[in-house]
Amino acid sequence: MADKPYSKILERLPVKSLLRFKCVCKRWRDEINTTFFITSHTRQVRINEPNSSTLIFRCLDYSSNEKRWWSRDIFSLDLQSSSLEVKKLPHYYPSSYESSYYSSFNYAFVGSSNGLVCFREKEYEPQYSIYNPATGIGYTLPKLYPNHQYSSQRYMMGFGYDFANDDYKIYDYKRHNKSGSLYSLKNNSWKIIEPPPPTRDVREVIRMVFSDNALYWICYPHPYYTSNAINACVVSFDLGTEKYREPYINLLSWANLSLVELRGRLHFIKYNMYHTSLAKRPRIYKYNIRIWVMTNNNDGSNQLWVKLVDCISLKQCLQRELRCSGSSHPSCYRPPRPCAYLENRREMLIDLGGIIMVQCDLSTGKVKKVEIRGLPIDGRHFVNPKYDLIPWISSFVSPCT
């Protein structure tokens, strides 16, 4: 077989098959391990799976008896499979996590890009790790603050691939000292960068959204600048130029807003929920969602927002769920977060508060619950079960420098 068709065939195979083929002969192993092949294979995966048709889950399984919070296990869900059942993935345990009871499982998703998943330890000294679940290879980054502990409750974190410089980068910002840091996988080092504009404030822990070589998030007016009538807006940090850009959109309302990236485009979500606070039988008056998508202007700048969904009601679906589950807290089922388009692109999966998943028809507005099998979050074993998820594709990209 000629080299060119030989390589082209291998580029189109899934990672699971390629891992087996590496054991067939030395020639195949050397071919698959080359940087050129990994880059070409990842490009093919992005073309064939523009929707990131796989989701990675991790579960919040707090138990009063076991005193556990976030589970150490992660699971994958293939949205193109006929049965929506998660599969357990091998997980990477940094040595630093094993030294502390809390840090061994109290970590958070930062993001995923080209098959790499980034984690951040949520307590004590901030520690980041990058892991490829498909190959089982992980890497623990140098500590951001090696000489003292850090426990800020308001910070931003983001992870993405800088295609302009062929580098993977992590953004970290602390509100208490207004310091920004940027990690480069190519250089394997952190550096201090300029913080966000002083007129903008961080009110909670923010997981930034990566899209089109930039990290996006929603900023709010800083208390000291409220007299200037500054609205909330979408701000971005370009990983290539390492510069901030604002505003992408001014928001008159400050509450119930979020961002997601689907099919390579940034989506802006606004929702409304009104319900009674009765402990046993709460009544839901309204629970709807509106979605905008960012498109290109004629001059090539990404500043045009087009309404994708005017108003879809989630009220009836949530009412049925409350009756079946016996839950009395409608507020637990927010915020609604779109996860993925289905193959026909007319339907969308929406996560409700990390508790249930619903399937929404964008043309008719019909909503139904989706049963995901295999997640260890049923109420028989755990209290207040929840999950967190991020989109993911399978690749051979290595997190090691």
Q: What ranges do the domains of the chain cover?
A: 91-261, 273-383
Predicted confidence at residue 102, as pLDDT, reads 41
Calculate Rg over the CA atoms of the chain. Answer: 22
| Residue range 285-309: mean pLDDT, rounded | 79
* Sequence-separated (6 or more) residues with CB below 8 Å from residue 156: 171, 172, 173, 202, 205, 206, 207, 208, 217
Phi, psi (5° rounding) for residue 357? Answer: -120, 135
Arithmetic mean of pLDDT over the chain: 78
Predicted confidence at residue 112, as pLDDT, reads 93
Predicted confidence at residue 16, as pLDDT, reads 84
Beta bridge partners of 282: none
What percent of the chain shows pLDDT beyond 90?
20
What residue ranges in 176-303 does DSSP mark as E strands? 179-184, 189-193, 200-201, 206-207, 209-211, 214-221, 232-238, 244-245, 250-251, 257-262, 265-275, 284-295
- Name which residue leads in pLDDT, 64 or 195: 195
Max Cα-Cα span within the chain: 72
Distances from the Cα of 266 to the Cα of 4, 42, 71, 118, angstroms: 36, 21, 29, 20
DSSP string, 46-85: HHH-TT--EEEEEEEEEETTTTEEEEEEEEEEETTSSS-B
Residue 209 has pLDDT above 90, yes or no: yes
Predicted confidence at residue 381, as pLDDT, reads 41
Global pTM value: 0.86
Other residues' Cβ atoms within 10 Å of the Cβ of residue 145: 15
End-to-end CA distance of the chain: 33
pLDDT, one tens digit per residue, over 314-343 is: 988 888 888 777 665 788 888 899 998 887
* Contact status, residue 272 vs residue 288, Cβ threshold 8 Å: yes
| Residue range 62-89: mean pLDDT, rounded | 71
Residue 126 has pLDDT above 60, yes or no: yes
DSSP string, 79-111: TTSSS-B-EEE-----HHHHTSTTTTT-EEEEE
Task: Give long-range contacts, CB 8 A cutoff, 24+ apart: 222-228.
Answer: 222/198, 225/198, 225/199, 228/199
pLDDT, one tens digit per residue, over 252-295 is: 565 788 899 998 889 999 898 888 766 567 788 889 999 999 88
CA separation for the pair 323, 99 (Å, rounded): 43
What percent of the chain shows pLDDT beyond 70?
74
Q: Tokens for 171, please give them.
A: 């953004």
Classify the C-alpha dihedral 241-242-243-246 as positive or negative: positive
Q: Is 116 in a helix, a strand, or coil?
A: strand
Residue 145 has pLDDT above 60, yes or no: yes
DSSP label at 231? P
| Residue range 119-123: mean pLDDT, rounded | 74
Most confident of 137-146, 300-309, 342-351, 357-366: 357-366
Residue 27 pLDDT grade (very low, low, confident, very high; cuts 50, 70, 90): confident
CA 248 to chain centroid, in Å, comes to 21
CA 212 to chain centroid, in Å, comes to 15
Residue 124 has pLDDT above 90, yes or no: no
DSSP label at 14? -
